[in-house]
Amino acid sequence: MRRRPPEGLLSISPGDLTVATGENYALRMRACVAEGGLRAILLREPGLSDRTSLALLAKLCELRVDCPALWIGVHDRPHLALATGADGVHLGFRSLSVDQARRVVGVQCVIGLSTHAGDDPARFHDADYLFHGPVLDTPSKRGLVDPIGEVGLARFCASTNIPVWGIGGLDPAHASILTHCGARGAAVLRGVAAAADPVEACRSWNLAWRGHAEPAS
């Protein structure tokens, strides 16, 4: 049965892992899951080979032995999701289409997609969940895509029945904004992966989300 990411925080890997740093990342994520309440991880490492990504993704999937509720996804590599039993594959604008990825993973994985203001709904209408942003200013998108703000996120969430996670420049203080906009959570990179204390960052996000989230309709 396909599982969408749980509501709230979804932690994205830093994007610059190497063979040497991947092991430490897996250990940090183990602590975030066990002590910080993290329940969703997306491995997004375009610089790693398939072999290294496969090994790291398998380590992350092993965390579900002690935490069956943990959701694990991989960016842009549906064949690795299928090989490791990951829960989902996430697609970007350079990736396969949703339909093409579905031919690889079948019905076993959910398929997510990153979207931006002005995207054609035909591109994402078959996705299981969406990232939308950047909501706020963020270094990775600066000069490329303008922030959409609270109004833009709310407008997009109201336009689709597909669950949406806001992305871009978000921290726990924005939990109330996300819920007000109708988002199911936040996809966060630097806020966890680059945090001085990733475990505490996860705790802060979870506390903020529980304080503002309402049951999904």
* Residue 166: strand pairing partners: 132, 186
SS3 call for 75: strand
What pLDDT does residue 4 have? 94
Model pTM score: 0.95
Residue 118: count of CB within 10 angstroms of its CB: 7
CA–CA separation, 177 vs 2, rounded Å? 28
What pLDDT does residue 59 have? 97
Homologous superfamily of 8-212: Aldolase class I (3.20.20.70)
Average pLDDT of the residues of the chain: 94
What pLDDT does residue 146 have? 87
> Which parts of the chain sit beneath pLDDT 50?
215-217
What pLDDT does residue 43 have? 98
What pLDDT does residue 213 have? 57
What pLDDT does residue 161 have? 97
Is the Cα dihedral 142, 197, 42, 59 positive or negative?
positive
- Nearest alpha-carbon partner for 88 in 174, 177, 165, 180: 165
What pLDDT does residue 1 have? 59
Is 36 within 8 Å of 19 (Cβ atoms)?
A: no
pLDDT tens column, 102-145: 999 998 899 999 999 999 999 999 999 999 999 998 777 776 78
What pLDDT does residue 56 have? 98
What pLDDT does residue 80 have? 97
